[in-house]
Amino acid sequence: MDKSELIEKFMSNNILIDNDGLSFLCSTNYNINNFISACIAADNLFLDKNSVEDFLKTLDEKDKKQEQKTTIQPSISKPSTHNRSKDYDSSVIVHSIPEDNTIPKPKNVNSFSGYFADRYEKIKNILFNRPSLKGSRSLNSITQTTNDRNVSVIVMINSVGTSKNGHTILEIEDMTAKLTAIIMKDKLIGQNMLIADEVVGLIGSLSNGTLFVNDIIFPGIPKTFRKNHITDPLRAVFISDLHIGSNEYLPKVEERFLKWVNGTSKDASEIKYICIAGDVVDGVGIYPDQKDDLKIKNIFDQYNTFETFIEKIPDHIQIVICPGNHDAVRQAEPQPPFDSHYFPTISKFRNVHLVQNPCSLSLHSFDNNPGINVLMYHGYSFTSLNNAVPDLRKHGISNPKFLLKELIRKRHLAPLFGSTIITPKSSDDLVINSIPDILHTGDLHGFCIDSYENKIDLFSTSTFQGQTSFMDRVGHTANPGKVIHENLMTRQIGYETFY
Ligand SMILES: [Fe+2]
């Protein structure tokens, strides 16, 4: 392919690359299709030589981490089955590599400022690729002028308030200055969904040091983003919140699920991947007097029972497991993967992948195909976030599709600080930096299948536990026994009911 054809190929994907950038890329022999897919996923749409070089370094680092991951291949013999999906290779590439905590680092105010600076920079880079924000200026530079009719800025919101006349008052800041912005009440530009600590673009006019906002640009996803498809007829299954050990655990749901997974139906015979988004057990001491609600009162016995469940899943199916807030790992997010001492048996299985929460991963990614990118997040932030935003609260926490869409629109899994416990460190791992094909969440024990602009599948997965008094207290309503699955080639979604 000559250079003009390559430029055409980039342009057809709405990526602008200059001549020097293209020459440099060609000199590296990097696979052009993979590079374009990675650019779209990372929202990297304007490229010169320097940005190509930087991006290739990032991709190389990712590749190295993947190699590290794939070198850990413990194995133990398990009975095999003869389902159709067994005939295909599998691949699970984990992009979210947990921080090395072997040497504890001190946490102080600087840790928090670094954390928020990283959030701002990551989402600013996403917003800067939006055409209307290309000419964005720093707050410090616009405060040098008194009046300006056409100003665009990328800011973090410090606070959202309402004037006595009903106008929205925003306190905004970037790395250079702070400013007050006003959205007049007659403008309906999405101000009801704004919350503190999120990063947005604002377009408006500056008058006597106040920004009057005419438009809000949320990061969202670019129009160029396209769904990935794999080329093999394979299926992924999405579950969460088993809550093994609870008095309300539903063994019939488990039994029917395992019968289906081991069965010979067309859908079941295509299963190659199972993602489990946390709360695999009910835990111990998660809330006061929990012991009265527990059938299995010892945490190791709970995890041992979960291991028995996993052992009944055929070994040609790759199983990805992240923890939730009921699990025995650090509660601050990102939560590290399960320690192997809870899983002495399945941690040695080649088909079991213990990952952090949240976790970005690619299923069935091979040289000629990026696979399907899944973002798993247990969802501890959801209840607080839903309660904090009136327009979300009116839909109720049992109907989380609006909430999940808002997470993608804000490109953050817990945009409101305090909605979940975080580990202050130099990077904010809850920013949705790469665009997933599937956002898989749990925690609410409801059930929801939806999509963001028909491009990102949004799943809030069900539970293997009935309604509990604890759920009554936190306002969750169980919709147990629903299991979501998706054909990764056709991207058709289905679900089973086992309750
Ligand atoms: Fe749960």
Report the separation in Å between the CA atom of 421 and the middle of ligand 1, taken as the mean of its atom positions: 16
* H or E stretch covering 56: helix 49-71
Tell me the HSE value of 118 on the side-chain side, using a 13 A CA sphere: 17
**E strands of 244-383, at which residues?**
271-277, 318-322, 352-354, 359-363, 372-377
Q: Helix 32-41 vs helix 3-12: angle between axes, to the nearest 10 degrees?
A: 30
Report the separation in Å between the CA atom of 478 and the middle of ligand 1, taken as the mean of its atom positions: 10
Report the separation in Å between the CA atom of 86 and the middle of ligand 1, taken as the mean of its atom positions: 31
Report the separation in Å between the CA atom of 283 and the middle of ligand 1, taken as the mean of its atom positions: 10
Report the separation in Å between the CA atom of 243 and the middle of ligand 1, taken as the mean of its atom positions: 7
Report the separation in Å between the CA atom of 459 and the middle of ligand 1, taken as the mean of its atom positions: 15
Q: Which pLDDT value is given to residue 83?
A: 59
Report the separation in Å between the CA atom of 471 and the middle of ligand 1, taken as the mean of its atom positions: 9
Which residue, among 205, 217, 198, has the nearest Cα to 129 in the 3D structure?
Answer: 217
Report the separation in Å between the CA atom of 230 and the middle of ligand 1, taken as the mean of its atom positions: 31
The rounded Cα 234 to chain-centroid distance in angstroms is 22
Report the separation in Å between the CA atom of 308 and the middle of ligand 1, taken as the mean of its atom positions: 20
Report the separation in Å between the CA atom of 312 and the middle of ligand 1, taken as the mean of its atom positions: 22
Q: Mean pLDDT per segment of 10 residues, for the chain of length 499 residues?
A: 77 80 81 77 80 82 57 40 80 86 63 88 94 92 81 96 95 96 94 94 93 96 94 97 97 98 95 98 92 95 98 97 96 93 96 97 93 97 88 84 95 89 83 97 94 97 92 85 97 96
Report the separation in Å between the CA atom of 347 and the middle of ligand 1, taken as the mean of its atom positions: 22
Report the distance separating Cα 151 and Cα 147, nearest Å: 10
Q: Which pLDDT value is given to residue 74?
A: 36
Report the separation in Å between the CA atom of 287 and the middle of ligand 1, taken as the mean of its atom positions: 13
Any residues with CB less than 8 A from the CB of 63 and at least 6 apart, and which?
none
Read off the tokens for 13. 């994907």
The rounded Cα 147 to chain-centroid distance in angstroms is 40
Report the separation in Å between the CA atom of 239 and the middle of ligand 1, taken as the mean of its atom positions: 11
Q: Which pLDDT value is given to residue 10?
A: 80
- Contact criterion met (CB below 8 Å) for 422 and 414: yes
Report the separation in Å between the CA atom of 374 and the middle of ligand 1, taken as the mean of its atom positions: 20
Report the separation in Å between the CA atom of 222 and the middle of ligand 1, taken as the mean of its atom positions: 33
Report the separation in Å between the CA atom of 241 and the middle of ligand 1, taken as the mean of its atom positions: 4
DSSP string, 388-431: H-HHHHTT-TT-THHHHHHHHHHTBSS-STTSS-B---SS-TTB
Q: Which pLDDT value is given to residue 69?
A: 47
Report the separation in Å between the CA atom of 443 and the middle of ligand 1, taken as the mean of its atom positions: 4
Q: Which pLDDT value is given to residue 269?
A: 96
Report the separation in Å between the CA atom of 342 and the middle of ligand 1, taken as the mean of its atom positions: 19
Report the separation in Å between the CA atom of 476 and the middle of ligand 1, taken as the mean of its atom positions: 10
pTM for this predicted structure: 0.84
Q: Helix 32-41 vs helix 49-71: angle between axes, to the nearest 10 degrees?
A: 90
Report the separation in Å between the CA atom of 323 and the middle of ligand 1, taken as the mean of its atom positions: 10
Report the separation in Å between the CA atom of 326 and the middle of ligand 1, taken as the mean of its atom positions: 7
Report the separation in Å between the CA atom of 58 and the middle of ligand 1, taken as the mean of its atom positions: 35
Report the separation in Å between the CA atom of 248 and the middle of ligand 1, taken as the mean of its atom positions: 12
Report the separation in Å between the CA atom of 266 and the middle of ligand 1, taken as the mean of its atom positions: 30
Read off the tokens for 46. 């304007």
For the chain, percent helix, then strand, then coil, each to nearest 5? Answer: 30, 25, 45
Show the domains of the chain with their CATH numbers. 3-62 (1.10.8), 84-101+226-497 (3.60.21.50), 130-217 (2.40.50.140)
Report the separation in Å between the CA atom of 190 and the middle of ligand 1, taken as the mean of its atom positions: 31
Q: Which pLDDT value is given to residue 370?
A: 93
Report the separation in Å between the CA atom of 482 and the middle of ligand 1, taken as the mean of its atom positions: 14
Report the distance separating Cα 212 and Cα 161, nearest Å: 15
Report the separation in Å between the CA atom of 487 and the middle of ligand 1, taken as the mean of its atom positions: 26
Report the separation in Å between the CA atom of 360 and the middle of ligand 1, taken as the mean of its atom positions: 20
Q: Which pLDDT value is given to residue 279?
A: 97
Q: Which pLDDT value is given to residue 40?
A: 74
Report the separation in Å between the CA atom of 456 and the middle of ligand 1, taken as the mean of its atom positions: 23
Sheet (strand 372-377) strand order: 92-94, 359-363, 372-377, 438-441, 456-460, 448-452
Report the separation in Å between the CA atom of 227 and the middle of ligand 1, taken as the mean of its atom positions: 29
Report the distance separating Cα 26 and Cα 7, nearest Å: 12
Supply φ then ψ for residue 394, to 5 degrees.
-65, -20
Report the distance separating Cα 85 and Cα 319, nearest Å: 14
Report the separation in Å between the CA atom of 237 and the middle of ligand 1, taken as the mean of its atom positions: 18
Report the separation in Å between the CA atom of 379 and the middle of ligand 1, taken as the mean of its atom positions: 9
